[in-house]
Amino acid sequence: MEKIRIAFFDTKPYDRSFFDECNRNYHFQIEYFETRLTPKSVAMAKGFDAVCAFVNDNIDDKTVDELYNMGVKLIAMRCAGYNNVSLKAAYDRITVVRVPGYSPYAVAEYALAMIMTLNRSLHRAYNRIRENNFSINGFLGFDLRGKTFGIIGTGKIGLVFAEILQGFGVKIIAYDLFPNHKAAKQYNFEYLPLEEIYRQADVISLHCPLTPENVHMINHDAIKMMKKGVFIVNTSRGKLIDTKALIDGLKNKHIGAAALDVYEEESDYFFEDLSNHAIDDDKLARLMTFPNVLVTSHQAFFTREAMTNIAQVTLDNIRDFFGPKLLPNAICARCDGSRNCPPANTPCARKA
Ligand code: NAI
């Protein structure tokens, strides 16, 4: 039997080591490309049965059309989010699969790590001490205990975040399009309307997917509703926040701090070593100047356990697609299992 050929895009050495190790059990013919999958690079997928892509690949209408025309049958996302894939173009032509939950712990733990780091200035203390500067001026933080945490999106990651917070003596309030009342009881939190989360929370942590409806949900109007000194954490997707509004809120001190593992224009920067280049993106460059902003490069997922699960589930998805099995991880705009079902006329990319 001929081996199934998979073109991996946007790969780094760590992707290759985890996937090569895992592929010992699958024997797929894998080719790794460093370049992103975009309308420009899509020609590289010619001759492959499937492509495997990541968070910053640009799988828009044109990319999908080209993939379809060259006979690629499957887009296997090696991540949970799929906002960068045109499901409309894929509908009924190319199946799209993803890895829905490789480690909610990795991301939830990371969100808390960012809060603790930024609140207590650990990132700055590390640098100061290395220069023999033992002053603690400017490092004043606050106790988490007694503060109100607002969680937006109580799916897998949001709930692990709520679970972790149980030990901190905080009050948790949450918003989700589809409230999970059983979990709310279990983790002692209350669902409130979004505006109330904005009004009441000292710390707001985003754990919802990016959808066409919630692009720039954190904008000038939302920030205006928030408490002065609010702490905003985004480990979800950059476009949930209007960066210009965030910068304005930081400049006028309405926002106390921002921890960002994602950024709306991250695709040209994140995951790359650009230490010999100037940053062209003025908003990113400005963000990085604030002492009360912590930017990291979309690394919340990056644990050994998550990488192992990503490789395993991605290769399982590919095996299942080319075999007789059902595809539990196919992305269907109506039934992707996330309980985030858009209106009924949204196209579905699930294999029939
Ligand atoms: P999930 O699908 O288990 O949960 C998402 C929750 O958000 C669901 O309960 C859904 O009903 C809710 N939701 C959808 N739209 C909403 C809206 N407009 N407002 C409020 N709630 C809404 O997803 P999971 O696994 O918890 O992941 C959440 C997000 O985290 C992913 O979509 C992805 O964007 C991001 N992520 C980031 C990673 C990183 O490395 N920084 C790694 C993995 C995921």
pLDDT in tens, 140-189: 999 999 999 999 999 999 999 999 999 999 999 999 999 999 999 999 99
194 and 262 together in one domain: yes
Q: Whose CA is nearest to atom 27 of ligand 1?
A: 157
Place of tokens 């692009």: 215
Q: Relative to the CA of 104, which ligand 1 atom is closest?
A: 25
What residues are in contact with ligand 1 under a 6 Å CB criterion? 80-81, 101, 104, 107, 152-158, 175-178, 207-211, 213-214, 235-237, 261-262, 298, 300-301, 338-340
Tokens 């650009």 belong to residue: 274
Is residue 26 over pLDDT 90?
yes
Active site residue 298: yes
pLDDT tens per residue, range 56-83: 999 999 999 999 999 999 999 999 889 9
To the query of whether residue 207 is one of the catalytic residues in this protein, the response is: no
> Residue 279 above 60 pLDDT?
yes
Q: What is the mean pLDDT of residues 30-45?
A: 98
Q: What is the pLDDT of residue 229?
A: 98
pLDDT exceeds cutoff 60 at 341: no
Range of the domain at 91: 5-102+303-349
**Residue whose CA is at the smallest distance from ligand 1 atom 1:** 155
Look at residue 327 in the predicted model and tell me its pLDDT. Answer: 84
Mean pLDDT, all residues of the chain: 93
Phi then psi for residue 348, to 5 deg, are: -120, 130
Residue 197 and residue 71 share a domain? no
Q: Are residues 244 and 284 in the same domain?
A: yes
Both 172 and 120 in one domain: the answer is yes
User: Which residue of the set 237, 304, 319, 350 is catalytic?
Assistant: 237
Q: If you measure from the C-alpha of residue 352 to the centroid of ligand 1, how many angstroms do you get, rounded to a whole number?
A: 26
Residue-wise pLDDT for 284-336, tens only, equals 999 999 999 999 999 999 999 999 999 999 999 999 999 887 888 888 655 44
134 and 55 in a single domain? The answer is no
Is 237 catalytic? The answer is yes
Measured in Å, residue 135 CA sits from the centre of ligand 1 at: 40
Cα separation, 162 vs 341, whole angstroms: 23
Q: What ligand 1 atom has the least distance to the C-alpha of 300? A: 40
Q: With bands split at pLDDT 50, 70 and 90, how would you rate the model's confidence at 262?
A: very high
Tell me the C-alpha distance between 218 and 87, whole Å.
25
- The total number of structural domains that make up the chain: 2
Per-residue pLDDT at 347: 45
Shared-domain flag, residues 222 and 327: no
Does one domain contain both 196 and 97? Answer: no
Q: Which atom of ligand 1 is nearest to the CA of 339?
A: 11
**pTM of the full structure:** 0.90
Q: Whose CA is nearest to atom 10 of ligand 1?
A: 340
Q: How far is the CA of 34 from the centre of ligand 1 (A)?
A: 27
User: How far is ligand 1, taken at its centre, from the CA of residue 69, in Å?
Assistant: 32
The two structure tokens encoding residue 151 = 């969680």
The span from the CA of 32 to the CA of 15, in Å, is 9
pLDDT at 336: 43
pLDDT higher than 50, residue 337: no
pLDDT at 249 over 50: yes
Mean per-residue pLDDT, 20-32: 97
Ligand 1 geometric centre to CA of 29 (Å): 32
pLDDT tens, 107-125? 999 999 999 999 999 999 9
Q: What is the mean pLDDT of residues 329-351?
A: 52
Q: Is the pLDDT of residue 340 over 60?
A: no
- pLDDT for 334: 54
Q: 92 with 211, same domain?
A: no
* Residues 97 and 116 both lie in one domain: no
Domain co-membership, 42 together with 135: no
In the chain, % of residues over pLDDT 70: 94
Examine the domain organization and report whether 289 and 319 are in the same domain.
Answer: no
Domain boundary among 252, 271, 295: 295
Q: SS3 string of 240-266?
A: HECHHHHHHHHHCCCEEEEEECCCCCH
Residue 34 sits in a domain of what CATH number? 3.40.50.720
182 shares its domain with 219: yes
CA nearest ligand 1 atom 18, residue: 214
